[in-house]
Amino acid sequence: MAHATLTRLAVHVGAQRLDVALDPDAELGDVLDGLALPLGQTMLVDSAGRRLDGRASVGSQLEDGGVVHVAVPAPGPRGRRGGRLPGHEEAVRRRPPVEAGLLAVGAVAALVATVVVMTSGRASSGAGVVVGAVGCLLGALGCALGRARAQTAATVCGPVLGLAAAVLVVAPTDDAGRRLAVVAGLAAAAVIAAARYVAVRADRSGSAGAGDDVAGVALVATSATAAVALVGLLLALPVVASAAVLVGAAPLALRALPQSALSVPDEQLVDLARVSRTATSVRGPRPKGLGRVSTAQVVRTVAFAERRKAAGTVVASLVPPLLLPAVLASSTPGTVGGWGALALTSCVVLAFGLGPRTARGAVARWWPRAAVAVVLLEAVTWAPADLRTLLAAAVLALAVGVAALAVPLARGWTSVVASRLADGVEGLGVVLALPAALVAAGAVELLRQVTS
């Protein structure tokens, strides 16, 4: 008996192609036997898009040389009983955790107690101070070493509670005591931030991605502020000197944030196993080669960098509005310090106003601009009476110019010359901010006294 001629088919499964030959009387579903694919979970179509029956014969549906496309559906999400995903409740219910509200209330209460103690001017009750200091200290240690669900709230409120605890312990009654209390509070906040950073790093080593990168920003901010305040206290400098230095350093910090936020290990950029040939590496262990970089690792690293940049932008944007009024109030118009305060204000406005042009993200774009608006309002408020009208008119003209420029920018107008000019002006504001802050703090008078 003569055998039927075999039907040759080309089977496409995704990017894979298989060439098979089947008996025309065989079922088309036999094609899936060699692919280990169940017939009920696949769909067979020909080149014209016509659906094929896997239980029908090959010869009744396809000719010799035909093409079969096997469509395999993507696996559906496997949830718990009832079809609900494990994180579905958290995705639908976007209410913040309860710990965040409790920590915020505790931090605000601690700040209120700190302000009351700093401004009272008299010795507080011993029992009340002890109870408040112990409560703030326990809360700060709990935020630093605990594992609350509200990680960002614990990172922010921990140093605040530590600062309040130190101020309550000192309980100042005069100006010298207040300055000592502020320095002690900043040092305590830096210690709590360091403990929180260490705890976060240890937690991240145990479970990737569980850390809170705001802890690094809090540690740098509190440490720098405490160091500047301590140096001013040891050198017996005016209080305005520390505030001016911090305001002058804010544009530099804002400019350095995009580069310093993203941290890429050297072994991911250079193959150390091939280029490391130093005298010490000859006898030492051979460095490991480059590891495989996954998409999840890149996404996680970029997400952490974005969080660090956003947190640093918020901190840098809060410094000028909070500390610049002290510099403006202590400066005398017409003197070297007064001109330095004016130059410092101008540098902050230029750096924070022009910097967000190339920034990415809502925080990086709008927080510095909001800080500029507040700084301009403070400058008009603290300006002398004879210059207040002129300064207000200049600010109004600036606002009108920015509003008029926003119209062509929204329509897509671009100018390389204007962009380069804005970059140059922004760079001048960033570079001259710290020297202007030193002049406003009285560095010129100090040098004159030293050299005389």
pLDDT digit string, tens, across residues 171-193: 888 888 889 999 999 999 999 99
Q: CB–CB of 355/426 below 8 Å?
A: yes
List, in sequence order, the alpha helices (H) in 171-238. Answer: 175-206, 214-234
Q: How far, in Å, CA of 194 to CA of 320, rounded?
A: 24
Residue that wins the pLDDT comparison between 128 and 323: 323
Please provide the size of the chain in residues: 452
Mean pLDDT of 49-68: 79
Spatial strand order in the sheet of 43-45: 16-22, 7-13, 66-71, 43-45, 51-52
Q: Which of 39-48, 124-133, 316-325 has the highest mean pLDDT?
A: 316-325
Q: How far, in Å, CA of 121 to CA of 217, rounded?
A: 34
Band of residue 387 on the pLDDT scale cut at 50, 70, 90? confident
Question: Between the CA of residue 93 and those of 86, 90, 212, 230, what are the distances in Å?
Answer: 13, 5, 22, 46
Q: Which CATH code is given to the segment(s) 7-71? A: 3.10.20.90
Quick one: pLDDT at residue 392?
81
Q: CB–CB of 159/198 below 8 Å?
A: no
Location of each CATH 3.10.20.90 domain in the chain: 7-71
Question: For the residues of 319-378, what is the DSSP string, one character each?
Answer: HHHHHHHHHHHHPPTTSHHHHHHHHHHHHHHHHHHHGGGG--SHHHHHHHHHHHHHHHHH
- 220-229 pLDDT, tens digit per residue, is 999 999 999 9
Quick one: pLDDT at residue 212?
62
Residue 15 has a CB neighbour count (10 Å cut-off) of: 5
Quick one: pLDDT at residue 143?
87
Whether residue 83 is predicted with pLDDT greater than 50 in this model: the reply is no
Please give the helix or strand (H or E) that residue 236 lies within, else none.
none
Amino acid at position 94, single letter: R
What SS3 class is residue 22? strand
Mean pLDDT of 364-376: 91
Residue that wins the pLDDT comparison between 348 and 9: 348
Whether residue 321 is predicted with pLDDT greater than 90 in this model: the reply is yes
Average pLDDT score over the chain? 79
Which tokens go with 339? Answer: 């001109």
Band of residue 90 on the pLDDT scale cut at 50, 70, 90? very low
Q: How far, in Å, CA of 183 to CA of 166, rounded?
A: 9
